Amino acid sequence: MTQQIETGTVMTIESDDEFRARIRQWFADNRPAKRPRDPAERKSWVRAYHARMYDARMTGPSWPLEYGGMGLSFAQQVIYQEELAKARVPSPLGTGLGIVAPTIITYGTDEQKQRWLGPMLRQDLIWCQGYSEPGAGSDLPALRTTARREDDFYVVNGQKVWTTHATDADVFFTLVRTGTQESRQKGITYLIIDAHAPGVTVRPLKDITGGEHFAEVFFDDVRVPIADRIGEENQGWPLVRTSLGHERAAGAMNQATNYRRILDELIALARERGLTTDPLTRDRLADFEIRVRLMKYNASRIINDIIAHGEPGPASSVSRLFITMFEQELHEFAVEMLGADGIVTRDSERAIQRGRWLTGFLGSRASTIGAGTSEIQRNTIAEQVLGLPRDPAMPAR
């Protein structure tokens, strides 16, 4: 395949092989500096690197050109993700790029798109999701955070929890209740909230790995301009479905390329330690090899659906379920394969590869909960992919 690219004021034709070579060379010429240990310095380091990528038009592979993206074809998006994984560049901060960005592109006004998309992609502003609540995780229509109209503002009160990277956030994309509690999904509105506004409190939560990747967020009479609402009041539920579908779709190709590299590293470790002489170990590694290839093919199918229909569709739930189960089982096997060395923590001098496999094992315990539990994914697959009878307890589309 070929694609037109702009070089100065001239449009030239670039083949897929030429595109891969150009992408690979850019990452080779622009390797990130060593990762800082200090959290504040690390945050600045990530933002600076992604700003460099944005300024060079080397980020946002699926994003339209007018919003700072690359506007790549499907084939070149796959190539880009493969080279990005090999380059080992720092992941962007926050959760906005794969979740709220497609929602803004689909439902936002022209003014909102111009105001938010470029700074989000450049990492000038870090966006985080504010969906889950103490009593509304998998059952999002039960959320209780309220937004009351007052002149040209909403006044927001409530609590969110398990908010990923909330301590880094400049902006929250948030679900609030503007209807009655009984209205469930018919009374939900999609708001964009300044994370530094008066009345916003963020409290970190320590997880089983010892890290603080999540937080709880409190809103106490936070005033949000009506202009910062996406879509219409009480009509946020379809936007939620777009956000979650794109979250699973965006993660599919990224994770497929990342787990290709991670599995290769695990196989290399097994060989280094002489463990591949065990036929059971070889059998398990072969199984993971098959599954990591399937992961890539399924991710490609989802991207094709987005290109064809504008939405990832229910197949994104297949990908989400497959990847989270793979992630858990791979790390369980890695710890088991390493034996006693596999349970040495990263602080010990005896830790294998700084304890990465134990840390991954502990972190993956939450994989089948976040972004919709495995039970939710199975319901979606059963009803919308296999055509089985609908669960009456689940909200209507």
**182 counts as catalytic:** no
Using DSSP's 3-state secondary structure scheme, residue 235 falls into coil
Assess contact for 190 and 236: CB atoms under 8 A. Answer: yes
Q: Where are the beta strands (DSSP E) in the chain?
A: 2-7, 10-15, 127-130, 146-150, 153-160, 171-177, 188-194, 200-205, 214-225, 229-230
State the Cα–Cα distance between residues 150 and 222, nearest whole angstrom: 11
> Are 145 and 174 within 8 A, CB to CB?
yes
Whether residue 177 contacts residue 187, with contact meaning beta carbons closer than 8 Å, is answered with: yes
Buried residues in 236-262 as b, exposed as e (16+ CB within 10 A):
bbbbbebbbbbbbbbbbbbbbbbbbeb
CB 105 within 8 A of CB 148: no
Q: Which phi and psi angles does 110 have, rounded to 5°?
A: -60, -40
- What phi, psi does 244 have (nearest 5°)? -65, -40
Beta bridge partners of 229: 191
User: What is the C-alpha to C-alpha distance for residues 247 and 129, in angstroms, rounded to an integer?
Assistant: 11
CB 368, CB 327: distance < 8 Å? no
Residue 295, H or E segment: helix 279-309
- Active-site annotation holder among 133, 233, 247, 327: 247
Task: Kindly list the catalytic residues.
Answer: 247
